[in-house]
């Protein structure tokens, strides 16, 4: 303000000003383009070492191998995938119904006072650091499970997955609630007009109408569970293990090492061969590709539902 | 459908409407919503119990404090909730402001103890102020020469802060020359104003420098803010004057009370000044004045409680989380272990993130909201950026750690586990969150304001700087504080870039190897000793959560105060 000449000054040539405006535009564009740069550097830098790894280890062996032992240079991804799969499935069993129910309650039933308590509460769940969830699982949940008579080991996939599940509830509930709030009120009124009860309107009209948004939130939550690191590092143990298909229930009492935990372990190991170190990037790239595809899929589904009502 | 009887009644006429099913469904949904909340609440209670060990105190101690603090405050809380909601908000803010102020005081105290001396801070600030003065003066004198101003904007800070050529640049040239086998360096350089101040044979005392460079600017800003709100120059002068008087009084009286002068000045700036301005505002408005009773009763209750327990000889709990825990380094024995170096690491990491991620993130958001074209090739590129930011927000944190490891440590050869690498890796992680929240804040500024500004003949950048940003700042601040909260708790990237498992000495520079709070907590979690597992670990978790709680509460207060309605 103080730098401007007083009064309108239309006659003077806007000599430097245009250049300055252009420069601001380019500087800001560069800020925005940083995000592309981040993605590109993730892909390039991860691929660089992953390619080194795959020239020495046959990719087929890597993706189908059933043993993962860095000390003997045996790299099979399946045991790590087993761990990741277990965490994802168990946490999904906990989080998806719970998150959906929370979304239904918040969007359809809750009074405004109830909402003002529950919504910040769920936000707090999302704000707790994951390492804290991991400590909860290890120090409090596992002893609790043991005390009620479950034969869980000190490090087990069950308590880790329970905490992962609780951690991703807010993600499911907030995105699903957004989807349900976006359902036009006219649909609900039409349901009531037909004589349907609130329960029937909720389960028969609102939830199906918001289905794509709900699915998109489910996928995003799964992707989050797959990428979750600290909870499984702290509480799920450090032993890569194949799924025991003959006795599925026994699996959940044992410790597993999901992909993310394996990455942390390889990186912090004292003695690790050059090949072992590059395997870090192969696992990381696999993880990145899986989560990236899931996120894209989730966006696609969410974009479809947006078109329906706006 | 042909076989169906034409319906005449309404759905469910034959049977009573089944209310039971609906009720059961609602109750189930509520129970499931509460499930996550209640289980985490229980876990938090357990960890708090482990950290504070309230049961190790005498029953008399617990009863005294329950009678002097807990019961009166609970009664007040119920009263505010039922009868006087504005007073409740006043109580919330007046209790919260000192806590935030103490946290900031602690942060700055750590800064002055570990990172830079008061003299260095003074020199840096004075040089920056001179550079700013030069830029403003040039703008006044030659307002037409916009290109020249650009040059001044870049050169003035370099000249005053770094000197010509900057030392780092000089090192770089010398190193490059040495690598080529040449003995070549820039031995003659113009030293910067900052270096000149550092070389002065006599310097003002620490408190005078702090008064000039920290207390007065903050008081000035507060005074300006008050003046703007009340349209009164007198009030803003009063704020500055009273603050200065208090600061000087404290410098004289501080040693008598056993508080260091530096700490006293920091307290004045960050805790007492904001609290005073707020309380004065509440009293003047006369709205919710009863809320002021809450902090007063809390302080009185603690004072009475400590006198009573002292006289009657009740012993307090042997809490793991005490002053010693916050101020000492970790140790092999649980009783001596503390979190101080890790806290310093976290503070320094936050500084790196604020200086790097915040400007880039806000800049990106400004571009995407204010400049981005929606058509043509650039439009496609912008759409790509938007989609990409959304996807980056979903990339697992451990992958960012891997990126940090590959980029900063293996390619740029920066020291493994140093503060700067940690800050940049975690900064990249929260960049998409900062961008998205800043975009939302900027988007919520009504278009009519922009049109008005354009109508006055302002350029796009002038509109952004003078109209859009001031309106969007509270929203941007809220989003940034929440993102910083996320950053403080992130652990996986720290593990990947090799942050130290635990350090005994706090880092002194950004290239020092450091440990951060969550990294230190993770180290403790692998100790098998129950004294660690149920004591030190719990204390660490509670410390981390307390910091996050304060940050989130601040963000929520800012959001509620400045939220645009409608």
Select from B17, B32, B457 the Cβ nearest to the Cβ of A8.
B457
- Rounded to an integer, what distance in angstroms lies between the CA atom of residue A39 and that of residue A296? 14
Residue A130: band (very low, low, confident or very high) from pLDDT cuts 50, 70, 90: very high
Query: Is B140 in Cβ contact with A101 (below 8 Å)?
Result: no
What is the pLDDT at residue B9? 55
- The pLDDT of residue A1 is 44
Q: Check residues B312 and A168 and name the one with the higher pLDDT.
A: A168
CA distance to B259, B269, B464, B557, per residue, from B481 (Å):
30, 20, 22, 11
Nearest-neighbour CA in chain B from A54: distance (Å): 18
Is A41 in contact with B407 (Cβ distance < 8 A)?
yes
What pLDDT score was predicted for residue B14?
Answer: 54
| Closest by CA position to A276, among listed A285, A284, A289, A267 | A267
Q: For every one of its 566 residues, what pLDDT tens digit does chain B have, with 9 covering 90 and above?
A: 445 555 555 555 555 666 788 888 999 999 999 998 999 999 999 999 888 888 888 888 888 888 888 898 899 888 888 888 888 888 888 888 888 888 888 888 888 888 888 888 888 888 889 889 988 888 788 777 767 777 888 888 888 888 777 777 777 777 777 777 776 666 667 778 888 888 877 777 878 888 888 888 888 888 888 887 777 788 888 888 888 888 888 777 777 777 777 888 888 888 888 888 888 888 888 888 888 888 888 889 888 888 888 888 888 788 888 888 888 888 878 778 888 899 889 999 999 999 999 999 999 999 999 888 888 888 888 989 998 998 898 899 999 999 999 999 888 888 888 999 999 999 999 999 999 999 999 999 999 999 999 999 888 888 998 899 988 988 899 899 999 999 999 999 999 998 888 888 888 888 888 899 999 999 998 888 888 888 889 999 999 999 998 888 888 888 877 765 43
Which residue from A minimizes the CA distance to B530?
Answer: A139
A31 and B363 within 8 Å at the Cβ level: the answer is yes
Neighbours of A147 (CB within 10 A): 8
Q: What is the mean pLDDT of chain A?
A: 86
Mean pLDDT of A140-150: 90
- State residue B190 phi and psi, 5-degree precision: -80, 115
Q: CB A116: neighbour CB atoms within 10 A?
A: 11
Interface touch B541/A132, C-beta < 8 Å: yes
Q: Is the pLDDT of residue A181 over 80?
A: yes
From CA B122, how far away is CA B90, in angstroms rounded? 36
Q: At what angle do helices B419-443 and B376-392 cross, to 10 degrees?
A: 120
Q: With contacts defined as CB-CB under 8 Å, which chain A residues touch B525?
A: 131, 134-135, 138-139, 234
Q: Which residue of B has its CA nearest to A230?
A: B492
**What are the backbone angles phi and psi of residue A69, rounded to the nearest 5°?**
-135, 100
B22·A27 Cβ contact <8 A: no
B47 touches chain A (CB under 8 A): yes
Task: Say how far apart CA A228 and CA A223 lie, in whole Å.
Answer: 9
As a whole number of angstroms, the longest Cα–Cα distance in chain A is 87
CB contact under 8 A, A105 and B32: yes
pLDDT for the residue B354 = 92
**Could you say which of B28, B405, B435 has the minimum Cβ distance to residue A101?**
B28
Distance from CA of A45 to the nearest CA of B (A): 6
Residue A165, class by beta-carbon neighbours within 10 Å (0-12 exposed, 13-18 middle, 19+ buried)?
A: buried
Domain locations in chain B as residue ranges: 334-562
Interface-testing mutation among A20, A50, A115, A131, with chain B (most B C-beta atoms within 10 A)? A131
Token representation of residue B241: 């004057």
What CATH architecture is B334-562? Orthogonal Bundle (1.10)
| Subunit contact A105:B26, Cβ cutoff 8 A | yes
A196 exposed, middle or buried (CB, 10 Å; 0-12, 13-18, 19+)?
buried
Cβ atoms B284, B106 nearer than 8 A = no
Which domains occur in chain A, in start order?
A: 62-309 (1.10.3720.10)
Q: What is the pLDDT at residue A197?
A: 87
Q: Is A153 helix (H, G, I), strand (E, B) or coil?
A: coil
Q: Which of B19, B31, B37, B383 to mutate to test the interface with A (most CBs of A within 10 A)?
A: B37
Burial of A55 (0-12, 13-18, 19+ CB in 10 A): exposed
Q: Which of A130, A141, A173 sits opposite B491 (nearest CB)?
A: A130
- The alpha carbon torsion through B66, B69, B72, B77 (nearest 10 deg) reads -110
B391/A296 Cβ within 8 A = yes
The confidence band for A195, taking pLDDT boundaries of 50, 70 and 90, is confident
Residues 537-556 of B with CB under 8 A from A: 537-538, 541, 544-545, 548, 552, 556
In a mutational test of the B interface, the residue from A80, A104, A201, A230 whose CB has the highest number of chain B CBs within 10 Å is A230
CB-CB under 8 Å, B140 with A195? no
B528 → chain A, closest CA residue: A139
CB < 8 Å from A in window 436-495 of B: 457, 459-461, 466, 482, 485-486, 488-492, 495
CA distance A257 to chain B (A): 15
A220–B39 CB contact, under 8 Å: no
pLDDT for residue B6 = 54
Is a pLDDT exceeding 50 seen at residue A280?
A: yes
For chain A, say whether B148 makes contact (Cβ under 8 Å): yes
| Residues in B touching A129 (Cβ below 8 Å) | 488-491, 518, 544, 548
Structure token digits, residue B31? 């129970």
State whether A223 and B394 contact (CB < 8 Å): yes
Strand-pair partners of B513:
B418
> What is the pLDDT, as a whole number, of residue A289?
93
- Which tokens is A114 given? 């109830």
Lowest mean pLDDT among A23-32, A119-128, B12-21, B54-63: B12-21
DSSP string, B420-480: HHHHHHHHHHHHHHHHHHHHHHHHTS-HHHHHHHHHTT--HHHHIIIIIHHHHHHHHHHHH
Determine whether the interchain pair A122/B37 forms a contact, defined as Cβ–Cβ distance below 8 Å. Answer: yes
DSSP string, B179-227: HTT--------BPPHHHHHHH-SS---HHHHHIIIIIHHHHHHHHHHHH
Evaluate the CA torsion angle B48, B52, B58, B60 in order and state its sign. negative
- Comparing alpha-carbon positions, the chain A residue that sits nearest to B13 is A195
**Does the structure show a pLDDT above 70 at A192?**
yes
CB–CB contacts below 8 A, A to B? 285
CA-nearest of B40, B392, B422, B400 to A260 is B400
Q: What is the reported pLDDT for B565? A: 46
Contacts of B538 in chain A (CB under 8 A): 139
Residues of chain A with C-beta less than 8 angstroms from the C-beta of B533: 139
pLDDT at residue A4, as a whole number: 47
ipTM of predicted assembly, 2 dp: 0.90
Which of B224, B219, B221, B213 is closest to B240 using CA atoms?
Answer: B219
More confident residue, B377 or A247: B377
Q: Do A31 and B522 touch (CB under 8 A)?
A: no
Among candidates B39, B21, B33, B37, which has minimal Cα distance to A104? B33
Q: What is the pLDDT of residue B13?
A: 53
Using CA atoms, how far apart are residues A27 and A285, in angstroms rounded to an integer?
31
Strand, helix or coil for residue B328: coil
With residues binned 3-state (H G I as helix, E B as strand, rest as coil), the percentages for chain B, rounded to 5, are 75, 0, 20
Structure tokens belonging to residue B145: 């020469």
Of A149, A131, A128, nearest in space to A139 by CA: A131
Confidence of residue A232 (pLDDT cuts 50, 70, 90): very high
| Whole-number Cα distances in Å, A305 to A73, A101, A170, A291 | 48, 20, 21, 21
Contact residues on chain B for A171, CB-CB shorter than 8 A: none
- Min Cα distance A85 → chain B (Å) is 16
Task: Please give the average per-residue pLDDT across A247-270, as a whole number.
Answer: 85
Comparing alpha-carbon positions, the chain B residue that sits nearest to A122 is B37
């Amino acid at each position: 303000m103080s730098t401007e000449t007083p009064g309108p000054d239309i006659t003077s040539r806007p000599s430097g000003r245009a250049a300055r405006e252009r420069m601001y535009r380019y500087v800001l564009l560069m800020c925005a383009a940083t995000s592309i740069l981040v993605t590109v550097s993730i892909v390039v830098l991860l691929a660089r070492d992953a390619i080194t790894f795959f020239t020495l280890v046959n990719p087929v062996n890597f993706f189908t191998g059933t043993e993962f032992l860095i000390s003997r240079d045996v790299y099979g991804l399946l045991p790590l995938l087993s761990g990741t799969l277990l965490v994802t499935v168990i946490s999904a069993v906990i989080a998806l119904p719970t998150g959906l129910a929370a979304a239904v309650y918040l969007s359809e039933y809750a009074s405004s006072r109830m909402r003002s308590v529950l919504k910040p509460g769920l936000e707090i769940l999302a704000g707790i650091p994951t390492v804290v969830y991991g400590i909860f699982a290890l120090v409090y949940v596992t002893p609790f499970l043991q005390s009620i008579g479950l034969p869980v080991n000190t490090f087990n996939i069950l308590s880790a997955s329970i905490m992962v599940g609780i951690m991703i509830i807010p993600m499911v509930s907030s995105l699903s609630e957004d989807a349900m709030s976006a359902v036009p009120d006219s649909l609900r009124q039409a349901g009531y007009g037909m004589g349907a009860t609130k329960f029937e309107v909720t389960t028969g009209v609102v939830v199906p109408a918001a289905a794509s948004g709900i699915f998109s939130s489910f996928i995003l939550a799964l992707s989050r569970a797959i990428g979750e690191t600290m909870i499984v590092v702290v509480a799920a143990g450090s032993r890569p293990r194949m799924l025991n298909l003959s006795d599925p229930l026994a699996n959940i009492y044992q410790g597993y090492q999901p992909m993310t935990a394996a990455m942390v372990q390889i990186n912090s190991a004292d003695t690790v061969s050059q090949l072992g170190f590059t395997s870090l990037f192969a696992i990381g790239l696999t993880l990145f590709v899986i989560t990236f595809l899931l996120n894209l899929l989730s966006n696609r589904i969410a974009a479809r539902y947006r078109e329906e009502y706006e | 459908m042909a076989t169906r009887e034409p319906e005449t009644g309404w759905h469910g006429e034959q049977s009573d409407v089944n209310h039971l099913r609906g009720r059961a469904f609602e109750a189930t949904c509520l129970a499931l919503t509460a499930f996550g909340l209640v289980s985490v609440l229980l876990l938090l209670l357990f960890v708090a119990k482990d950290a504070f060990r309230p049961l190790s105190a005498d029953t008399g101690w617990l009863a005294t404090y329950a009678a002097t603090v807990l019961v009166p405050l609970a009664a007040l809380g119920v009263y505010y909730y039922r009868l006087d909601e504005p007073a409740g908000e006043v109580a919330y803010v007046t209790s919260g402001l000192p806590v935030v102020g103490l946290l900031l005081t602690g942060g700055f105290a750590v800064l002055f103890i570990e990172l830079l001396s008061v003299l260095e801070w003074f020199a840096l600030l004075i040089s920056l102020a001179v550079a700013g003065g030069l830029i403003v003066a040039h703008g006044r004198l030659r307002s037409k020469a916009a290109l020249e101003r650009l040059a001044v904007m870049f050169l003035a800070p370099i000249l005053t802060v770094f000197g010509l050529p900057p030392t780092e640049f000089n090192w770089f040239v010398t190193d490059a020359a040495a690598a080529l086998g040449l003995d070549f360096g820039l031995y003659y350089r113009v030293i910067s104003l900052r270096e000149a101040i550092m070389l002065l044979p006599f310097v003002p005392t620490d408190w005078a420098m702090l008064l000039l460079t920290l207390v007065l600017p903050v008081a000035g800003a507060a005074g300006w803010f008050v003046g703007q709100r009340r349209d009164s120059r007198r009030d803003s002068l009063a704020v500055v004057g009273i603050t200065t008087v208090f600061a000087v009084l404290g410098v004289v009286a501080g040693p008598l009370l056993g508080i260091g002068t530096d700490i006293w000045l920091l307290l004045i700036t960050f805790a007492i000044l904001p609290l005073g301005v707020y309380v004065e505002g509440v009293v003047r408005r006369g709205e919710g004045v009863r809320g002021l009773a809450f902090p007063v009763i809390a302080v009185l209750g603690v004072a009475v409680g400590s006198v009573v327990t002292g006289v009657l000889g009740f012993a307090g709990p042997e809490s793991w989380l005490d002053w010693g825990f916050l101020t000492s380094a970790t140790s092999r024995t649980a009783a001596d272990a503390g979190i101080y170096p890790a806290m310093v690491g976290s503070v320094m990491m936050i500084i790196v993130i604020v200086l790097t991620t915040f400007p880039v993130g806000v800049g990106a958001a400004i571009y995407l909201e204010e400049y981005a074209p929606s058509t043509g090739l650039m439009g496609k590129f912008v759409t790509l950026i938007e989609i990409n930011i959304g996807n980056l927000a979903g990339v697992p944190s451990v992958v960012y750690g891997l990126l940090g490891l590959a980029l900063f440590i293996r390619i740029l050869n920066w020291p493994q586990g140093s503060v700067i690498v940690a800050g940049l890796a975690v900064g990249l992680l929260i960049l998409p969150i900062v961008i998205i929240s800043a975009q939302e804040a900027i988007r919520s500024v009504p278009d009519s304001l922009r049109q008005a500004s354009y109508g006055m003949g302002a350029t796009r950048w002038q509109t952004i700087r003078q109209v859009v940003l001031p309106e969007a700042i509270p929203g941007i601040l809220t989003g940034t504080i929440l993102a910083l909260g996320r950053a403080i708790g992130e652990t996986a990237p720290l593990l990947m870039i090799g942050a130290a498992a635990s350090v005994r000495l706090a880092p002194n520079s950004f290239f020092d190897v450091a440990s951060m709070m969550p990294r230190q907590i993770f180290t403790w979690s692998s100790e098998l000793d129950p004294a660690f597992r149920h004591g030190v670990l719990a204390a660490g978790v509670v410390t981390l959560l307390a910091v996050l709680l304060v940050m989130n509460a601040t963000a929520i207060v800012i959001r509620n105060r400045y939220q645009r309605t409608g």
